[in-house]
Structures are given as structure tokens and as C-alpha cells.
């Protein structure tokens, strides 16, 4: 990871001069504080990962110690179990379908809000903006009743559809400025060349707003991967469990087997962490760019 | 973050308000063609917006309306509700000491989140905004806790914070054994433990937001002040902090809303029943316990309505009095 400044999706370019010339090292006190901050942030994660490489007796004798010797049976055991992979694939399916749904519906409505003039536009934008204030938790009880009436209890669709609905506000708020920022001249030039408005949407607007689309997609996927309360309410049978429910269930089922619980926990956070480390510039940069507007 | 975005979007939409119309007029010279163009444009708008609007209204707005209706019934969730109790559910909610405690905890968590995370995030952002090596790496690493799910954070911390867990062990081994305590069950400490975990999980997000805010402040201002003889802290106090105002206010808004709906962490660490005795219950855990788990969907809906109203009042109040300058009523008045 270089010290590059961006990944910021804003169309406004930031000069990358900082990376060009070698920097001074600066005040050592700052590095010390940064070191403390990083240890505090990463420490518990490292504890969970390392704990999975220990035995229960190691953990009991010295709860904060390092693996000695390293034991791989916990991780192997979890990786060999059908439960983990079934929950893993449920989480993956739910995450991918949610992401596609959020992106498709979100891009469509954002495009209308960004580049068309119509009477209800203001009201529509406010509606989505207001949705930010009422996250899933507030609506979960009545939402559960609606999901039940739709016959979607204990099915993955019962999680996917509400997640798409609740993912829309953030998506609209992030994407609308992106689509709005595409210069009018480009659209006019395309129109003169005979491109229809919808043709412009597919061939110009979406490619140009790609950084925003990717940011939104990543947020939707991680949000879905980590969602707990909705599966908790909606899913009953273990074949449909997603990883968060699985972790909770596993940790109460094997509460005496701490090492195994740590191995299971650390394996189930790996996908989100790997995903994050691949796209970290997009996520951190995307938020940075978002705030800069 | 989204709030600034909204401001930006508002500005952009206002500035560009006339252009789309103008283009349409210019492109369609005859009135009939213009009319046909309008009809086509309407159709496009309808096609583009209706799927999102239907899903959003059906699953985000409608449940809240439905909750208001079910909240007037004593209802177990089977068949249509018939046992009308009027405001009975609400009377029970507001006289139930368990709910009052949950509300109190939510209030404390809101205030403590702001007081602990706000200054800490600003200080850390100021530190990390200096030209140091590896800044991108630091930015990423402090963001890691934010990416991990609440369930995993909760599971990990509840193992580490047990009386015989890693935290107490580490304290003993570095000679701070007198600090070791029952982090989770002692009602005098549990809420502070929760605050520690919340700070750990969300401080990275706050720092990233503040850093973004800091980076949008032009260097010229502080350089000019330095030339005029201002000290580092004077520059931060009188130039950086005021200019960081919008970012701080928006972060605070997100933090408040997040604190009001806190559920996962408490539910995972303290379970279904002991959060009350440990002093960490929230409105959302109260709702899960007394609604879904008890099978009282009418009552659960009434709790949802109360939560909704609390969030709404806080949000509107905050927008009216704090975010006024930043948003100019984007939510309450619409974009146009």
C-alpha cells in the first residue's frame, strides 16, 4: 500500500505531488501515537486469529499468550465442516444478489434524480434522504410481519429484498452527485451524435460514474455480509443461516471449546477483511471523496 | 458523509435546475415534437424511478405505517389483529421500568459517544493529517474494526473480557492486575465496557471523516495565520476547528442515529436477558425481547413506533437547530 492520496472518486483531481518527492520523517511522537492507535485497532483482530491456532488448555493457562506450539486442527476442523461452507455460501448468495439489486435500482433512480427535471423530484430525493434516519433496526418488527405476509420467512429472499430497500438511501445519496457531475457538454455532444437519453445512460453515464457505483456496491456487500438483525428475525432453520447467525450459534453450541469458536469467528471475518483490503482505496477514498462532495 | 453529499447535491441541483429543460426545448423545435418528447421523458422517469420507489416505500415506509396500526392491538402475529387496546401498549411501554432504563442507556450512549469519540477523533485526525510516512496504511488499519461485523466484534470481545479472559490476563502480566475486573457483568462497569467497544469499533470511521474534512481545508489559510505569528494550536483552534464544523456536525448526526438504534453488539455480548441487569439494554434489545421473542407483535410494533418517533424527533430537532446552516432544510423542505 503506497502513500498515494487517492482512490477518491470525485471528478475533481487532487494533485499527487506528495507521492513524487521523498518525505521528511517528521516528529517521532506522531509515529508513537499512530503505533498505539494501530495496535489498539488491530489487536483484538489479531487475538481472534491467533487464538484459533491455540489449544483450549493453552488459552486457559495463558489467555493473552501466543500460540505455543501452533495448532492447526481448529481451522482444519471448521474448514472441513459442512456448516461453515453452507453458511458461507448463503452469505455469499445474499451479498451478491443484494449488491446487484441495490446497484441496479439505485443507479436507475439516481440517474432520474440527477439528470431529469420533474415535479416530484425534490420530494423523491427527500424521501430517500429521510430513509437514512430510519435504519433497519427501527423498522424490524413491522418489517418482519410484512416479510411473513409475503411468505418469505425462512428464505434467503426474505433477507435480500429488505436489504435492497434499506440499501437504497445511501446509494441514492452517494450516486446522485456523481451522475449530476457529468458535464452537460458530454450529453449534448452525444445527443448531436444521435445518442438517445437512455443510450447516454448506458454508454456514457454509467461508465463515467463507475467509481461511485463501485463504492456503493462495496458498501452494499459489506453491509449485507455483516447484517445480523434481519437474518435473526427472518431465518429459522440452520440450512438457511448466514455467517453472522452461524457465528453466534457456533459460539453458544461450542461455548466450552473457545479455540474452535475463535477459529470459526476468524474464518468468517476473513472474506470481509480480504474484500476490504482489495478495495480499501475505494472504500476509504470513497468516503473521503464523498465528504469532499 | 451522506449529509455533506446531500448538501453538495442540493447545490448542484439548484445550480443546474434550468439546464435540462433548456436542452429539451432546444432539441425539439415544434410544439408537437416537444409534447411527444415530454411524454417520452415522463415514461423514462417512471421506468427509472418506479422499481426503487416501490421497493423502498413497500419495505421501508410501509412497515412504519403498519407498525402504527398494529401498535393499537394486542396481537400475537397470527391472523388479522382483533384485540383493540387503544393506547394500552404505549401506557405499558412508558410505565415499564425496563423500557425507561433502556431509554436512559440509549441517552447515555448517545452523549458518551459524542463526548468520547468526537474530541478523540479530531485530535487523531489532526495528528494523522501531518505529513508523515505510511499515512495511507494507517488510514486503512484504523478502519479495520469498522469493516468487521458486530457479531464478530461481540463474540471476540465477550471472550476477551471474561473474568479469566485475555484482557485481565494481560493486565496482570504488565503489573496492572488491580485494574482487572468483571467487565461484562458488573452493572457499574458494563456500560463503560460497552462504550469502550463502541469507541473501538467506530472511531476509525470518525477519524476518516475528520481527515477528509481537514483535507478539504485550503492550506493557504493556516499558512497565512502562521505568517501572522499564530501558534500551531491557535491555528487549529481558530481556523481549522471552525472550518471543520460541517464535518463534525454531520459525524455527530450519524453517531446519534447509530447510538439510538444500537442492537447487535449488546445482543451478542449480553444475550437476550442479562443486558437489563448488566445495565446495557437499549430500546432495540427491549423491542426484540418483548416483541419477537415474547410473541407479542402488537407490543413490539408499539415499541418500534416509539423508537421511530424518538429518532424522528431527534433528527428533525438536530436538522432544525444544528445542521441548519449545512443543509438548508434539505430533508424537511426538499431539494427545490
What integer pLDDT is reported at residue B67 of this predicted model?
Answer: 86
Residue A20, domain member (yes or no): no
Rounded Cα distance, A259 and A232, in Å: 25
Q: Does A6 touch chain B (CB under 8 A)?
A: no
Topology (CATH level 3) of domain B91-333: MetI-like fold (1.10.3720)
CA-based nearest distance A96→chain B, Å: 17
A264 near A75, Cβ under 8 Å?
no
Whether A117 and A221 share a structural domain: yes
Q: Does B328 touch chain A (CB under 8 A)?
A: no
* Residue B118 reports pLDDT greater than 80: yes
Residue A220, domain member (yes or no): yes
Find the residue in B nearest to A198 (Cα). B44
CA angle B253–B257–B262, rounded 5-degree value: 145
Q: How many CB pairs under 8 A join A and B?
A: 353
State the pLDDT confidence band at A13, using cuts at 50, 70 and 90. very low
* Domain boundaries along the sequence of chain B: 91-333
Q: How many domains does chain A have?
A: 2
Whether A203 and A156 share a structural domain: yes
What integer pLDDT is reported at residue A1 of this predicted model?
Answer: 36
Residue A11, domain member (yes or no): no
Scan residues 158-217 of A and list those with Cβ closer than 8 Å to B. Answer: 161-162, 164-166, 168-170, 172-174, 176-177, 180-181, 184, 187-188, 191, 197-198
Whether A52 and A169 share a structural domain: no
Find the residue in B nearest to A256 (Cα). B159
Whether A64 and A90 share a structural domain: no
Whether A34 and A137 share a structural domain: no
Of the residues A44, A71, A98, the one at which a domain ends = A71
CA-based nearest distance A287→chain B, Å: 7
Average pLDDT over residues B121-131: 86
Average pLDDT over residues B110-126: 93
Contacts of B311 in chain A (CB under 8 A): 133-134, 138
pLDDT in tens, A49-82: 998 898 888 888 887 788 888 989 889 988 998 8
What integer pLDDT is reported at residue A8 of this predicted model?
Answer: 37
**CB pair distance less than 8 Å for B334 and A117:** no
E strand or H helix that includes residue B126: helix B97-128
Kindly report the backbone phi and psi dihedral angles of residue B168, in degrees, each rounded to the nearest multiple of 5, phi listed first.
-65, -40
Handedness of CA B90, A130, B3, B313 (dihedral sign): negative
Comparing CB atoms, the residue among B139, B268, B308 nearest residue A248 is B268
Whether A97 and A208 share a structural domain: yes
**CB pair distance less than 8 Å for B204 and A41:** yes
Whether A128 and A215 share a structural domain: yes
Dihedral angle, C-alpha B240, B242, B243, B248, nearest 10 °: 100
Find the CATH number of the domain harbouring A145: 1.10.3720.10
Average pLDDT, chain A: 83
Query: Which has more pLDDT, B333 or A256?
Result: A256
What integer pLDDT is reported at residue B115 of this predicted model?
Answer: 95
Of the residues A37, A71, A105, the one at which a domain ends = A71
* Residue B200 reports pLDDT greater than 90: yes
| Domain assignment of residue A204, given as a range | 82-239+279-292
Handedness of CA B60, A235, A96, A251 (dihedral sign): positive
Whether A96 and A198 share a structural domain: yes
The predicted complex's ipTM stands at 0.80
pLDDT in tens, A274-292: 888 888 777 666 565 544 4
What integer pLDDT is reported at residue B30 of this predicted model?
Answer: 57
Whether A48 and A165 share a structural domain: no
DSSP-assigned letter for residue A52: T
pLDDT in tens, A212-229: 888 888 889 888 998 999
Whether A60 and A87 share a structural domain: no
- How distant, in Å, are the alpha carbons of A53, A94, A215, B78, B177 from that of A160? 35, 6, 19, 24, 48
Whether A217 and A103 share a structural domain: yes
Residue A7, domain member (yes or no): no
Average pLDDT over residues B28-45: 69
Amino acid at each position: 500500500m503506497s502513500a498515494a492520496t487517492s482512490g477518491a472518486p470525485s471528478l475533481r483531481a487532487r494533485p499527487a505531488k506528495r507521492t513524487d518527492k521523498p518525505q521528511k520523517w517528521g516528529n517521532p511522537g506522531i509515529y508513537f501515537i499512530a503505533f498505539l492507535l494501530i495496535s489498539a485497532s488491530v489487536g483484538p483482530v489479531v487475538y481472534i486469529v491467533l487464538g484459533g491456532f491455540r489449544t483450549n488448555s493453552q488459552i486457559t493457562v495463558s489467555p493473552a499468550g501466543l500460540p505455543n506450539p501452533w495448532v492447526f486442527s481448529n481451522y482444519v476442523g471448521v474448514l472441513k465442516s459442512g456448516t461453515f461452507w453452507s453458511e458461507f455460501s448463503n452469505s455469499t448468495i445474499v451479498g451478491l444478489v443484494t449488491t446487484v439489486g441495490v446497484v441496479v435500482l439505485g443507479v436507475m433512480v439516481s440517474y432520474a434524480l440527477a439528470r431529469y427535471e420533474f415535479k416530484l423530484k425534490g420530494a423523491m430525493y427527500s424521501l430517500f434522504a429521510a430513509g437514512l434516519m430510519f435504519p433497519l433496526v427501527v423498522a424490524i418488527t413491522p418489517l418482519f410481519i410484512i416479510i411473513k405476509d409475503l411468505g418469505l420467512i425462512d428464505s434467503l429472499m426474505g433477507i435480500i429484498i429488505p436489504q435492497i430497500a434499506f440499501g437504497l438511501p445511501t446509494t441514492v445519496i452517494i450516486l446522485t452527485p456523481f451522475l449530476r457531475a457529468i458535464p452537460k457538454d458530454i450529453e449534448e455532444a452525444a445527443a448531436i451524435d444521435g445518442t438517445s437519453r437512455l443510450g447516454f445512460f448506458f454508454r456514457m453515464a454509467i461508465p463515467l460514474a463507475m467509481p461511485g457505483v463501485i463504492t456503493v456496491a462495496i458498501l452494499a456487500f459489506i453491509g449485507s455480509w455483516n447484517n445480523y438483525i434481519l437474518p435473526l428475525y427472518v431465518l429459522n432453520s440452520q440450512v438457511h443461516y448466514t455467517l453472522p447467525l452461524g457465528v453466534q450459534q457456533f459460539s453458544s453450541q461450542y461455548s466450552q471449546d473457545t479455540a474452535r469458536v475463535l477459529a470459526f469467528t476468524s474464518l468468517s471475518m476473513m472474506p470481509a477483511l480480504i474484500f476490504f483490503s482489495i478495495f480499501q482505496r475505494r472504500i476509504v477514498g470513497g468516503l473521503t471523496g464523498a465528504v469532499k462532495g | 458523509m451522506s449529509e455533506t453529499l446531500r448538501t453538495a447535491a442540493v447545490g448542484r441541483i439548484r445550480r443546474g435546475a434550468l439546464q435540462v429543460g433548456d436542452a429539451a426545448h432546444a432539441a425539439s423545435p415544434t410544439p408537437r415534437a416537444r409534447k411527444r418528447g415530454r411524454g417520452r421523458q415522463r415514461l423514462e422517469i417512471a421506468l427509472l424511478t418506479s422499481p426503487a420507489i416501490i421497493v423502498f416505500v413497500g419495505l421501508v415506509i410501509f412497515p412504519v405505517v403498519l407498525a402504527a396500526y398494529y401498535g393499537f392491538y394486542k396481537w400475537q402475529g397470527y391472523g388479522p389483529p382483533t384485540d383493540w387496546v387503544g393506547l394500552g401498549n404505549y401506557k405499558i411501554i412508558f410505565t415499564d421500568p425496563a423500557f425507561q432504563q433502556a431509554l436512559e442507556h440509549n441517552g447515555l450512549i448517545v452523549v458518551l459517544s459524542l463526548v468520547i469519540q468526537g474530541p478523540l477523533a479530531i485530535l487523531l485526525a489532526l495528528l494523522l493529517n501531518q505529513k508523515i510516512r505510511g499515512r495511507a496504511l494507517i488510514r486503512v488499519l484504523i478502519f479495520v474494526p469498522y469493516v468487521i461485523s458486530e457479531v464478530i466484534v461481540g463474540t471476540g470481545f465477550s471472550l476477551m473480557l471474561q473474568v479469566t479472559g485475555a484482557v485481565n490476563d494481560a493486565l496482570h502480566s504488565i503489573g496492572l492486575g488491580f485494574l482487572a475486573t468483571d467487565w461484562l457483568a458488573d452493572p457499574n462497569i458494563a456500560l463503560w465496557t460497552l462504550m469502550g467497544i463502541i469507541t473501538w469499533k467506530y472511531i476509525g470511521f470518525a477519524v476518516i471523516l475528520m481527515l477528509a474534512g481537514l483535507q478539504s481545508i485550503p492550506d493557504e489559510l493556516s499558512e497565512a495565520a502562521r505568517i501572522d505569528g499564530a501558534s500551531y494550536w491557535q491555528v487549529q483552534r481558530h481556523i481549522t476547528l471552525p472550518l471543520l464544523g460541517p464535518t463534525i456536525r454531520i459525524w455527530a448526526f450519524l453517531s446519534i442515529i447509530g447510538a439510538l438504534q444500537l442492537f447487535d453488539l449488546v445482543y451478542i455480548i449480553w444475550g437476550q436477558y442479562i443486558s437489563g441487569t448488566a445495565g446495557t439494554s437499549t430500546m432495540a434489545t427491549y423491542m426484540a425481547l418483548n416483541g419477537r421473542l415474547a410473541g407479542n407483535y402488537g407490543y413490539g410494533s408499539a415499541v418500534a413506533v416509539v423508537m421511530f418517533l424518538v429518532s424522528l424527533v431527534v433528527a428533525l430537532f438536530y436538522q432544525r437547530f444544528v445542521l441548519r446552516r449545512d443543509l438548508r432544510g434539505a430533508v424537511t423542505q426538499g431539494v427545490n
